[in-house]
Structure 1
Amino acid sequence: MNINIEIKGQQAHIVNQQSLISGTSNLEEIKFDFSSEWNGYTKTAVIYVDDYSISDSVKMLVEKDVVSAEKLPDWLFREECELYIGVFGDNSEGRRITSTIVCQKVKKGVPVDVVNEITPDIYNQIIKIMCDTRALVKEADEKIEVNKGYLEQAEQKANEASESAMRAENSESNINATVNAFNDMSETKKIELINAADAKMTDINTLADAKIKDLDSVSGEKSNDIATLTTAKMEDIANVTNAKLGDINNTAQAQIVSINEVSYQNTKSGTDAVNKAAQGKIYSINETAQGQINGITETAQGKIKDINNTAASQINAINNTAISQLSAINKTAQSQIKNMTIKYSDMCRTLGIEHEGIMLANTSYNSNESGSIPPDIYSIDVSKFKDIEFGKLVIADTYEYTLPAYPISIFLTNLKDDPAPEKVTTGKRYDVSLLNDLQFYVSYIGSGGYETTVNYKLYNKLEETTE
């Protein structure tokens, strides 16, 4: 069975009122349903039997709006009684909200032996909060490591861009070397073509000479034959032969001149064509190579610029994200540590443990230090202690004051019979052995409403100091 408690504003009531029997052990949990006024508050349930007593009350952190049954001591349900339950909450600004008390009756049941278990007190709950804080710090470290990885990747990209630029320069050198080699090769080819043309011309001249010799030989043989066969027609044959020889000589000479001219033109044309073609190729290669070099250089410079811009942008984004996350984590951790210290101080005062602790209080407006007592009065439970000593006063977690100081002071209102408040001095002990609650207020001349941290140390009634 459950005990379900609904809290609207500061009014609490049990929504499933039922009778519990002493000695029962089937209670599942105490479940709370809070209204929106409780958002942002760390909630603590206060449970006690019959008449209220600080020493006999049980305080439990309300986690996820539930106090589980295994965290409650069995002696609460051992015998017939009235079980009272209330809740108070604290936030990071030092504000507190409380609820009314609800009553759950426990009727008398069959007597049973119940082991009086030790309550899992605030110590264990504080340890849990500390573990959660460590987890937050670990997560921050992991994110910083991830950010370092991003920075290393950006640096690697910048190095790759530099290597690309170097490769572009090497490519330009290779192209120049290729052009020079081609120039050498073209000159060789040109010499080979000229030599080939000269060889052709020599062959043509040799052939022409051979043809002339052949014609002369044939003419001589024809003349001898005609003379032998007929003397009468020698003159006619001679005339014909001479005419034919003249024609043949003229034809042969014309052919030789033509052959010589063709050979010369072919040689000259071949040489000019080779030179012109080679020069055109060289110019084309130079133009292409220069264009490629310019393109590679412009591309490499553009890539390097883009990579540098991208790397700088990523590094700035990573740095901004890391700084923002670290600031948020530090702020959260500081707030949680402050809340833990406040809860630890409350616990030590409740248990009567000598300790150094803190309380949060808002400053009260006073026009001067001798003004009337303001309505903002705070109290410290000193019922189990002999002396109290105040440390430094801190405003807004920033400014520290060693009392007495101007313009801020702490005044104790019920330390002595004298109605005038006692002004606190840092490091001085005040006897509180006759008091249950020590009342005080923080005076700030000319202004009010500032959150202050009151540091103190309580000494128990024994002369020996306990840790």
Structure 2
Amino acid sequence: MNINIEIKGQQAHIVNQQSLISGTSNLEEIKFDFSCEWDGYTKTAVIYVDDYSISDSVKVLVEKDVVSAEKLPSWLFREECELYIGVFGDNSEGRRITSTIVCQKVKKGVPVDVVNEITPDIYNQIIKIMCDTKALVKEADEKIEVNKGYLEQAEQKANDAADYADRAGNYLEEVVGQKTDVEKLIANIDVKVEESTTNIANITEAKMNDISSLTEAKSNDIATLTTAKMEDIANVTNAKLTDINNTAVSQIEAINSSAVAAGESQTKGINTVASSRINNITDITNQQLENINTAATHQIEMIEGKTSTQIESINNTATNQISAINSTALSQIDAINNTTTNQIKNMTVKYSDMCRTLGIEHEGILNITNNKIVSIDVRKYKYIKFGTANTKGSSFTDYTLPPQYRWCSISCDKKELDTSKPVTDSYFEVTSNKEYDISTFDDLYLRYSSMDNTDYGYVNYKFYNNSEETAEE
């Protein structure tokens, strides 16, 4: 009779459950029926009686999903007991899968080894010794084959370890190189900022000097023009006054000559004429002065108007130049800040990838894109905790998960997420600063969903192995 065991995923059960009797000798073999999860794995059956003991347990390589009867030690079925059977598998990538343990009861049977056994003769004893020797040789060959398999697995493990070491070294070199590049970039940025600040200061000073020189030149021109106009007005006024005085003197001399010639009888008439003449001269003089003052006032107003326009134009030019200089400086500083931020985030993502590959507890960031599933190997960690997210959908501002108006979310599971299938027990929607137990996960599948189809950004996380919630309690 056979023991048939079916293993679906990691759950094992006996499909032909029946009672075995101790002393049974017609047990053929143990047959296994594995699900697809076991494809590509080298399988080993672990068999023991009653309580588990490393020294008493039997490990047998499963070949073609069968453990043949001759590979099973006969003492397993000699006495009443509970026979336990389980399987584990290893693949070339260093992964291991295990099954649950099934129990086959062996009831008490006739003690054939001690009751009424016929004492064999010498010939039978020799035959028995030959059979035992053959069995020992066969068992040794089988163990050699099993060990060979284990040696091949060990060699593969060593190769994998060497590969991981090489990859770790490459990551370390890359991270160190990127750190050096970032340090150089930051140093260059500092130099650029200093150069830009110096250039802006020099340009501003030069512009202010140009404006000051232009203002001074314009003021000098205005002063020169004003002085010239005032001199012209003074010259015209003096000339007019000289002409009036000359005319008055001539008139008075003529009057005096007439008075002397005419005698006293004509003196009164002459005085009257002279008085009239003087009044006319005075009126003409006053009118001339008024005209001169009006012309001078008009000239001064024109000069002041031109001066105000020139000064306003100079001020507008200076204001525009300073605004342009400030805009250029702000644009250069924003570009420098954006370049620095992107370089630091890229270096942090690389560092996070390296830590996950080496199984180092760390805090890092993940790139996330709307409706894109990210797969992470988490076999080396027991817990994960998510922090804040930072995406384009919120203008690259940090926010906790889920956000207040739930315009986005992050979902996780141990299997690839499929919205067309029911939610599994291992599924969870991320809440910031909450501890999640991933000790049963091989891989963590993370999916970011957003109302913005083009949304992308980062999410902070932490991988560790000692529960922080237990420690706080």
Range of TM-score over shorter length: 0.3 to 0.5
Bigger Rg, which one: 1
RCO higher in structure (CA 8 A, sep ≥6):
1
